[in-house]
Structure 1
Amino acid sequence: MLKPWDFIAVRLTLFLVLGILLGYALEIKPLVPAVLVSVGLCILGLAAFKKSKPTYLFGGSALFVALSSGMLLFSMAFQLNTPGHYSQFDFEGDHLWHLKIREIGKPTEFSQAYIARVVLLDQQAAIGKVKLRIKRPPQSSEPKLKIDDEILVWGVVSRLPEALNPYQWDYARYLRNQNIYHQLLAAPGQVYELGESGATLKGWSHSMRSSIVSKLEQLGLGEKELSIIKALLLGLRRDIASETFDQYRRAGAVHILAISGLHIGILLLFLRLIFHPLTRLPRGQGLSVGLTIVILWVYALLTGFSPSVIRAVAMFSFLAYSLFLDRLSQSYNTLALSMFFLLVLVDPYLIFQVGFQMSYAAVFAILWVYPALLRLWNPGNWIFKRVWQLLAVSLSAQMGVLPISLYYFHQFPALFMVSSLVIVPFLGLILGGGIAVTALSILGSLPGFLVRAYNQLIAYMNGFVGWLSRQDAFIFEELPFDGFEVLLGYILFSALVVLLKRPAAIAARNVLLALILLQGYGIYNSYITRQTERVLILHQFRNPMLVHQKGNELYIHGLKSGFGSSLLKDFQVGARIRKLEYLALEKKYVVNGEHLIRIDSTALDIPRERNGILWLTYSPRLNLDRYIAYFEPKMIIADGSNYNYLVRRWKESAAIRNIPFHYTGDKGAFMIDL
């Protein structure tokens, strides 16, 4: 039996991905990889013209071309390298930005987010993307702008907010991996709408979805049920309440809320069933697969051409064509070709999206592990057989995505098989029912009993998911898992699959060796954690916070409230903390034999120690020049609880007297190793 590595498309795609990652790390201009591609093609051509069968030179040069092509793809997609990018103009300060809306984000209490494409900068043609936030009144619920709307904005672009605390989620890096490098915050009065101009497929898709949503909202469905239906059918998740989303996440069923391979696979099965009679006609099989692929891409268009839908439809389009050619045995080639297609023709930046990584990891695991699990047990009873097949698919996919899931989300819902066993078999009914309800509502011939039945079906699903999410004993959260553990996790996964497919002493030895490596790395991390002791002043708005890490224990000096809960959770996971203890903030600390003196808004009862470290909190009304002259501090620290104008004034005073000044809003958390 051929192994995944034996397929040419798999090898080429793997080296293409490595080239993209290398281009991401080096950020080189397109010229260098273009020269490498040319050299590789010349060597490949010489090797191909040889009379003998393909040699190592031919195969090696082909892989080199794939690697170099990945680097070239990324360097060409990297917009900071592209002539005409707005960053190559004078864009600092107030400027007139002509923007075109490309995506609509989830609203917050105070603003509505968009992704916009730059059309003009001060009447000069420019390219690039920016994150746009428009302030909005609290009572406004729907975004005012639509996709393809063009606007003029007078304002200042700013850098994306960097992660300022250890282990904090890096939002700036997340947006940079989408070719977005700046943000623009504007009030409604700074925005002038030009209307829709030059409509695109994405804009047409948005209009169609808005019409469908309008029809669904008139059916009298429950608010919670309607939000789930919009997510399942149209990929609109912004209306799902945080509590509901968290329930699906804890139950291990959050994947059904994003249109992905599962949904498209079910739709493919439906279409094959519907078009099966066409296969009896001359050339009917080709017509059937053609119509199937067209409808899949029309559905992708209706759902807004989101990256998750594009990759799923591309993957299953290749799969449908493989079924037509009766070459399902070459599923690895099909999977690799779909990835190759997406990275080359759509966007090489897709490789950095979590959904992209998890989708391909899950499908690859199903192709590799599922047949071995079926051979492990083949029950004769039809019901047991179907249940085992469903469990085998779910277990295979979970094994494939587990290391990535632990790395990004640090949780493991142990009841994922229960949710899959109950929800997935009915997902076809839910999707089919949703499509039928939507189509009939558009035609104006939807019976009321069908609406009530479908609403109740979604309510039952929500209720079951809610019950699963409350089984805390089976939900493991805040699990530390770093990048090297992902690598070791996949080594262990591969060793287990080899042992499952071909039980042998050497395979068992490899599994034990992988386990030892993973456990050894865990022991090493535990040792490093126990040896760590440090004090940090974290950057946080409103409330000052000092944390003292002593091994795997964390002592938090600050208000025990909702403020900073996510910040502390990230720190707890990243630093592998097992115990948290809250303490009151003090006016004075002794750190490494030096006095750390905190002054708050009252500026009363100031400690009298000289030559210490001054920590300013809550915007104290303090004559800093007089304080510096008398107490002679070694360093001044200002955290996020202070007003910006005061921080600027203090920074100037410290610079005049050559005193180091650390503002956590610029330099991040202040840390002292003990």
Structure 2
Amino acid sequence: MVLLKPTLPAIPILVSYITGILLYTCRTPPRQEWVHILCAVAFLGACLAAFYRALSPSVYYFRTAFLLTGCCCIGYSITAYRDAWQDPRFIGHHLAQADRIRVRLEDDPAEKQKTYLLPCRVTGYYKGDSLYTASGKVNIYLYKHDSIPLLRAGTTVTLPQQLVRIQNSGNPHAFDFARYAAYQQLYFQGFYAYKDILKTETDQQLPALLRWRTHLTDILRSNIKDHTTQSVVLAMLLNERALLHDDIWKAYAATGIVHIISISGMHIQVFLFMVLFLLRWLKHPRYKWIKYVTALVLVWTYILLTNSPPSAVRAGIMFSLTSIALFTEKEEAPLNSLAATAFLMLLLQPYWLFNLGMQLSFLCMLSIFTFYQPIRNLIFFRNRVLRSLWEGIALSIAVQVWVTPAVIYYFHQFPLWVVLVNLPAGIYSFILMAGGLVIMAAGYWTEMAWLGNLLTGITTLFNKLVFFFADVTPRSLSHFAIDSISAVLLTFVLLSWARYLSICRTRTMLLAGIAGSCILMLDQYFITAGQADQDKLVVYRSNGYSLTQKVQGFQGYVYAPDTADAATGRLLLAPGLHWSLQHPLLPLEPNTLFRWKDRTALILTATHLRPQAVDILIIPEHVAFDPDRWASQFNPRLVVLDGSFTRRKSKKWVEALNNYNFAVYSVVLQGALVLE
């Protein structure tokens, strides 16, 4: 009798370890002292049971229960250890007494619409003239300025203490950035002008990998002149995604191929293939170990060079486990290797459990391991070309079984053409990555602009194909929002039907698929019925633009003046468009009193309006400050400063209106306002 099931021993260990992580991240985690005591008792019990020679089932289950309980406690303890708030030096504990902060740039600044994003790590803070050690990651946003200094990775900057807690935009169904950042141990951000920089110190001795990465980036930029191709190659090879245009992101996401511009297992496999191809001359079995050890070293060096994204680390660990299995001449169980890889990664960084890249990477591999072979075996072609083509299509279909619910849940869209686009996307990714690697290798000695031009031509043709399929995607599938319960039901339905059609044609699986489909349709019916009764007002946090929406049933009315950026407006409204899918959005006129429920609201844009009492007075940034007239003419219960304000002006107006005894809500400072 063995401790766990021989074929898949890593799966129950992984599940218990993940349970410990989830226990810590829940809202009311148990006290750490009790967890440590339980962990010690569990392993003590497992050790005592291990010395018991009897192999009865009761001893086996007793020993297994103790071991899994201990793994759960370890997951809890390591997650607590990795939590930045548990560190007494964390900057979040010292903001109240800090006058200035000292931060070091972790990477080169990334250009945003109105700012430069500086990913930084806090090294200390000043209280008076005394410098104290501190830690923690922060995002510094530096407003664009003509004379902005050249800040590169490794530069240390001293700034006044203006850090604030990262908050969500509050826009309906928008991406939860605050939670996403918290899982990366990033809790604070600061907004500064150029003149706020008190001191800069340039570190001449940067880490070797960082210097190498910067040099390779410069080689790619000097040999690839086209901005689109340059941004895609940098994202694909070095995980530099800040330069990617929003249109590229949206088109790739709509067609389900966004994975090709994020470092993933596919890119590691291409890199590994090229390394093994260059080492193909080592054919003698005696030197086989040299080939794989060299490949391992190069693969892990490349992963570190790309800042170790979880999906790449997953591919590196799985390749390492496969290499060990080859050396020891033992059979490898794919699902067990996948579970062992997940366990090792979460042992290193428990918060990777919530990383979207890691989730999609493991779901993709799980789909391939469980459904690729059965789907491929459904059709057999004698022709080698047709057989290879079908294998590629079968792979694309298999991947979608586990991945599709996650894609719909996170990205609010269904990639209708993913099976058709995945095959050319894989070919394009291989060509672009191979060409980029050649440029980086040969660029040390010679100009490779001709190859850069060739990659530009291929990228242009491929992007035309992608944009074509993105344009013909039905609008209803581009704004397909589901909640977590619907995502679980959809996963169950897809698994049931996929298993019935490709693996197990039994009555049980057929009934499971039919029952799951009926429950999912019933769930969507109740959601739709609830939307029919909705009546709400939303003032969006819209990055310098006025954007207000009134939703009544399935009809949406939008106020967005001509000065607003159309693309920004569509991007902000997209996650909540399932409210009004049945009818087009209609303009919401300014200076019009509109009602919802038993309340009234007015978007103020003109100065000469007849007196009328309103509950909500929404003020855009261009309106002149006149609180006396607002009080006498409208007597609002709440004054709302919309998303067109800057942070500084919004703070100034909030303080001034508080002095006039107004109840004030600033969308810029407090997030979107949703009134139901």
Q: TM-score range by the shorter chain?
A: 0.7 to 0.9
Counterpart residue identity of residue 469, structure 1: A
Quote how far apart the aligned CAs of 1:447 are: 7.0
User: Which stretch shifts more, 64-73 or 424-433?
Assistant: 424-433
Q: Counterparts of 1:149 and 1:71 in 2: how far apart (Å)?
A: 36
Query: Which TM-score applies when normalising by structure 2?
Result: 0.88
Q: Counterparts of 2:538 and 2:513 in 1: how far apart (Å)?
A: 41
Are 1:344 and 2:350 matched, yes or no?
no
Q: Counterparts of 2:328 and 2:70 in 1: how far apart (Å)?
A: 29
* 1:163-242 equivalence runs, <5 A: 163-189=169-195, 190-196=197-203, 199=206, 203-219=207-223, 221-242=225-246
Task: State whether residues 535 and 549 of structure 1, in contact with CA within 8 Å, keep that contact through their aligned partners in structure 2.
Answer: yes
1:295 aligned residue: 298
1:423 aligned residue: 425
User: Which stretch shifts more, 347-356 or 640-649?
Assistant: 640-649
Question: Which of 111, 115, 119 in structure 1 is aligned with 2:119?
Answer: 115
1:501 aligned residue: 503
Instruction: Say if 1:594 and 1:51 are closer, same or farther in 2 by CA, change over 3 A.
Output: same
* 1:360-379 equivalence runs, <5 A: 360-379=362-381
Quote how far apart the aligned CAs of 1:261 are: 0.5
Task: State whether residues 169 and 541 of structure 2, in contact with CA within 8 Å, keep that contact through their aligned partners in structure 1.
Answer: no
Counterpart residue identity of residue 155, structure 1: Q
Stretches of structure 1 that go unaligned for 5 or more consecutive residues are none
* 1:621-660 equivalence runs, <5 A: 624=627, 628=631, 634-641=637-644, 643-644=649-650, 645-654=652-661
Q: For each residue in 1:468-522, what CA deviation from the matched residue of structure 2 results, as whole angstroms up to 9, or x when unmatched?
A: 4343459930111111122112212332343221211111111111211211211
1:322 aligned residue: 325
Q: Counterparts of 1:647 and 1:664 in 2: how far apart (Å)?
A: 11
User: Which stretch shifts more, 612-621 or 497-506?
Assistant: 612-621
Are 1:125 and 2:133 matched, yes or no?
yes
Task: State whether residues 406 and 481 of structure 1, in contact with CA within 8 Å, keep that contact through their aligned partners in structure 2.
Answer: yes
Quote how far apart the aligned CAs of 1:368 are: 0.7
Q: Counterparts of 1:542 and 1:364 in 2: how far apart (Å)?
A: 43
Q: For each residue in 1:170-226, what CA deviation from the matched residue of structure 2 results, as whole angstroms up to 9, or x when unmatched?
A: 322221221111112233341422222774xxx422321221232333336433333
Number of positions where the alignment pairs a residue of Structure 1 with one of Structure 2: 655
1:151 aligned residue: 157
Q: For each residue in 1:244-289, what CA deviation from the matched residue of structure 2 results, as whole angstroms up to 9, or x when unmatched?
A: 343333333221112211111122233334435435242x233322
Instruction: Say if 1:651 and 1:566 are closer, same or farther in 2 by CA, change over 3 A.
Output: farther
Counterpart residue identity of residue 510, structure 1: A
Counterpart residue identity of residue 528, structure 2: S
Q: Counterparts of 2:644 and 2:451 in 1: how far apart (Å)?
A: 55
User: Which stretch shifts more, 66-75 or 19-28?
Assistant: 19-28
Q: Counterparts of 1:527 and 1:330 in 2: how far apart (Å)?
A: 47
Counterpart residue identity of residue 648, structure 1: E
Question: Which of 98, 102, 110 in structure 2 is aligned with 1:98?
Answer: 102
Instruction: Say if 1:138 and 1:382 are closer, same or farther in 2 by CA, change over 3 A.
Output: farther
Counterpart residue identity of residue 293, structure 2: G
Counterpart residue identity of residue 242, structure 1: D
Counterpart residue identity of residue 495, structure 1: S
1:278 aligned residue: 282
2:14 aligned residue: 13
Task: State whether residues 27 and 75 of structure 1, in contact with CA within 8 Å, keep that contact through their aligned partners in structure 2.
Answer: no
Q: For each residue in 1:114-142, what CA deviation from the matched residue of structure 2 results, as whole angstroms up to 9, or x when unmatched?
A: 221111111111111111122332587xx
Instruction: Say if 1:105 and 1:379 are closer, same or farther in 2 by CA, change over 3 A.
Output: farther
Instruction: Say if 1:30 and 1:128 are closer, same or farther in 2 by CA, change over 3 A.
Output: farther
Q: Counterparts of 1:671 and 1:452 in 2: how far apart (Å)?
A: 49
Root mean square deviation of aligned Cα: 3.2
Quote how far apart the aligned CAs of 1:65 are: 1.9
Q: Counterparts of 1:75 and 1:667 in 2: how far apart (Å)?
A: 29
* 1:597-636 equivalence runs, <5 A: 599-600=604-605, 602=607, 604-609=608-613, 612-618=614-620, 624=627, 628=631, 634-636=637-639
Quote how far apart the aligned CAs of 1:388 are: 1.4
Q: Percent identity?
A: 19
Q: For each residue in 1:4-57, what CA deviation from the matched residue of structure 2 results, as whole angstroms up to 9, or x when unmatched?
A: 996111221122223212211136464343233222212222332222336222
User: Which stretch shifts more, 410-419 or 582-591?
Assistant: 582-591
Task: State whether residues 122 and 134 of structure 2, in contact with CA within 8 Å, keep that contact through their aligned partners in structure 1.
Answer: yes
Quote how far apart the aligned CAs of 1:654 are: 2.3
2:83 aligned residue: 78
Task: State whether residues 597 and 607 of structure 1, in contact with CA within 8 Å, keep that contact through their aligned partners in structure 2.
Answer: no
Q: Counterparts of 1:608 and 1:431 in 2: how far apart (Å)?
A: 64
Q: Counterparts of 2:524 and 2:668 in 1: how far apart (Å)?
A: 33
User: Which stretch shifts more, 293-302 or 247-256?
Assistant: 247-256
User: Which stretch shifts more, 257-266 or 629-638?
Assistant: 629-638
User: Which stretch shifts more, 664-673 or 149-158?
Assistant: 664-673
Are 1:58 and 2:59 matched, yes or no?
no
Task: State whether residues 164 and 668 of structure 1, in contact with CA within 8 Å, keep that contact through their aligned partners in structure 2.
Answer: yes
Instruction: Say if 1:191 and 1:12 are closer, same or farther in 2 by CA, change over 3 A.
Output: farther
Task: State whether residues 155 and 186 of structure 1, in contact with CA within 8 Å, keep that contact through their aligned partners in structure 2.
Answer: no
Question: Which of 370, 387, 405 in structure 1 is aligned with 2:389?
Answer: 387
User: Which stretch shifts more, 474-483 or 71-80?
Assistant: 474-483
Q: For each residue in 1:579-614, what CA deviation from the matched residue of structure 2 results, as whole angstroms up to 9, or x when unmatched?
A: 422231234334444554554462x324244xx425
